[in-house]
C-alpha cells in the first residue's frame, strides 16, 4: 500500500503568495489608517462632551467653584486625565491636549488641540445629516399635531426623534426630553434624566440645546429643574418644567 504525500508549496508559490499579501496590505493600509483616525476622532468628540457635562455637573449640582485646582482634580479623577502645564493629556486617543476655559457667566468650554472642537462644534461638524433628519422629524410632528411642545413622556411622540437626538448629541437613549418650538426653524431642546421613577415636584438634571436651521446653535449649562405634569390627549404625563431653565 502506497503512502500518499501532500504536496507542499514551492518556493516560487510562497513568494507569489507573500507578494499578493503585500499588495493587499498596501492597498488596505490607507483605508484602515483612515478608519482608525475617524474612530479616534469620534471617541475624542464623545470625550469632549463627557468632560463638559462632568464639569457642569460639579458646578451646578455640587455647587463648586471651578478654580484651576478643582478642574485639575475633576479632570484627573473623572476623566483619567494627566494635568500638565499645557493642558490635560491622556483623554484624546490621538494624543491631543484638552484645555478648559470657564467664562465670566460660568459657561464651560473644552477644546482639544488635535481636533480643535468644543462640544457644540463637535455635534455640528460630524452630525449635519442626522441633525437635518432630526429637524425634519420634529417639523413633521408639529405639522400633524399643532402646538409648540413635544414631550418624550407623551403619547405618539415618535421614538425616531429620541434616537436621532441621542445620535446627534452623542448620548445614550436613557433620557427624557421636552422640545419647545420657538418658530418654524428654531427649537429649544431640554434633555433630562429619565422621569419614570421620579416624583412630581422633585428635581432632575437638565441640559438645554438650541437648534436653529438644522444646527445646534448653543448649549446651556446643566441645571436642576422641577418635574411637573400636564395633560396630553386627556392623559396626565410628567414633564420637565422648562420655564425654570435659565439660558445665558
Residue with cell 501532500: 6
CA distance 44 to 152: 29
Per CATH, is 36-118 categorized as 3.30.70?
A: no
Helix and strand numbers (H, E) in the chain are: 5, 10
Give me Rg for the CA atoms of the chain.
25
pLDDT value at position 15?
72
Q: What is this structure's pTM?
A: 0.52
The residue count for the chain: 248
DSSP element (H, E) containing 105: none
pLDDT band at 40 (very low <50, low <70, confident <90, very high): confident
pLDDT above 70 coverage of the chain, percent? 80
Q: Is 202 helix (H, G, I), strand (E, B) or coil?
A: coil
Domain boundaries, the chain: 36-118, 127-244
Amino acid at each position: 500500500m502506497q503512502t500518499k504525500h501532500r504536496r507542499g508549496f514551492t518556493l516560487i508559490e510562497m513568494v507569489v503568495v507573500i507578494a499578493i499579501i503585500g499588495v493587499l496590505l498596501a492597498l488596505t493600509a490607507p483605508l484602515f489608517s483612515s478608519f482608525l483616525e475617524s474612530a479616534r476622532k469620534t471617541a475624542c468628540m464623545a470625550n469632549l462632551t463627557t468632560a463638559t457635562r462632568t464639569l457642569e455637573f460639579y458646578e451646578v449640582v455640587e455647587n463648586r467653584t471651578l478654580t484651576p485646582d478643582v478642574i485639575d482634580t475633576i479632570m484627573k479623577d473623572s476623566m483619567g486625565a494627566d494635568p500638565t502645564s499645557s493642558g490635560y493629556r491622556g483623554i484624546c486617543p490621538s494624543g491631543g491636549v484638552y484645555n478648559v476655559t470657564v467664562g465670566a457667566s460660568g459657561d464651560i468650554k473644552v477644546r482639544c488641540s488635535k481636533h480643535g472642537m468644543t462640544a457644540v462644534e463637535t455635534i455640528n461638524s460630524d452630525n449635519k445629516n442626522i441633525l437635518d433628519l432630526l429637524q425634519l422629524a420634529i417639523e413633521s410632528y408639529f405639522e400633524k399635531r399643532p402646538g409648540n411642545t413635544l414631550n418624550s413622556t407623551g403619547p405618539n411622540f415618535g421614538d425616531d426623534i429620541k434616537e436621532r437626538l441621542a445620535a446627534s448629541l452623542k448620548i445614550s437613549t436613557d433620557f427624557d426630553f421636552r422640545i419647545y418650538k420657538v418658530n418654524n426653524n428654531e427649537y429649544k431642546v431640554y434633555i433630562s434624566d429619565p422621569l419614570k421613577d421620579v416624583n412630581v415636584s422633585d428635581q432632575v438634571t437638565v441640559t438645554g440645546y438650541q437648534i436653529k436651521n438644522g444646527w445646534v446653535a448653543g448649549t446651556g449649562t446643566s441645571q436642576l429643574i422641577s418635574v411637573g405634569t400636564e395633560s396630553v390627549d386627556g392623559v396626565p404625563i410628567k414633564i420637565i418644567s422648562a420655564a425654570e431653565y435659565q439660558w445665558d
